[in-house]
Amino acid sequence: MTDHYAVFGHPISHSKSPLIHTAFAEQTDQDMSYLAIEAPLGDFAGTWREFVAQGGRGANVTVPFKEEAHRLCDHISERARRAGAVNTLLLADDGTTHGDTTDGPGLVADLRRNNVRLEGARVLLLGAGGAVRGVLEPLLAERPAALFLANRTAAKASALAADFNDLGAISGGGFEAVTGQFDLVINGTSASLSGDLPPLPEALFTEGGVAYDMMYSAEPTVFMRWAEAQGARAIDGLGMLVGQAAESFLQWRGRQPDVEPVLATLRQQLG
């Protein structure tokens, strides 16, 4: 029997998840469907219940339903509890709903794929919104030497760092508080969407330093271009997108898909 999966969002037509999961299912020979469904605003729990009643086994959840999805779960992973948001729902055999967030594992997997070392690294993370909160637990689990959160609104970064300081060496503040050099600078702000560059000091990167933008687009983002001009290696977030999907897929199907061919297809389509 075919198992049904979907990504829920509003809007959702732009989603690459159906392409990614359909490719993963073909690779691993899974009898499953995966659709993009635009859910109505207001009652996401009702949307999920209806989907389950029609044979739904799991789902990805995106803007603006990640927090509502978090609230409807019967069980939740520690990293999703910390994130306050869920991007992956799984219906267990006993009918309960499990929630997880795979954005962080997707980011960590993509950094590893790009040979970026996190253990012992000095990491600067730009932003203090939902996207950053969602990746902090898995990032800190890799034991960076120091993780500094810098945000336009300094108080948000300090508060977010305080929420996670039991997990590692994390602190936060405004962009003006950024000092020293970093092995890895991750842009988790939405500034790239509007073509803005967070105000960052020169000489920010160590020798061999890496810039990672959690966003992606056909052209390198303004943050990536700035980082390259500073001598850093720049990577966009397309691999994180495929990586979070691979982690969701693994949880649903117990199979680890190969991200490389899917990433190549997406990259080609972007170009």
How far is residue 156 CA from its own chain's centroid? Answer: 19
Active site residue 16: no
Q: How many residues bind ligand ATR (CB under 6 A)?
A: 15
Query: Which residue's CB is nearer to ligand ATR, number 85 or number 118?
Result: 85
Query: Which residue's CB is nearer to ligand ATR, number 103 or number 183?
Result: 103
Which residue in the set 35, 61, 125, 128 belongs to the binding site for ligand ATR (CB under 6 A)?
A: 128
Query: Of the candidates 10, 86, 7, 80, which has an alpha carbon nearest to the alpha carbon of residue 41?
Result: 10
Contact region with ligand ATR (CB under 6 A), list: 99-107, 110-118, 150-158, 220-228: 150-158
Q: Should residue 153 be labelled a site residue for ligand ATR when binding is judged by CB under 6 A? A: yes
Choosing from 16, 21, 57, 66, the catalytic residue is 66
- CA distances from residue 83 to 87, 101, 142 in whole angstroms, order as listed: 10, 8, 17
Provide the β-strand partners of residue 126: 150, 187
Query: Which residue's CB is nearer to ligand ATR, number 46 or number 199?
Result: 199
Whole-number minimum distance, CB 25 to ligand ATR, in Å?
Answer: 28
Where on the chain is the footprint of ligand ATR (CB under 6 A)?
127-131, 151-153, 156, 189-191, 194, 196, 198
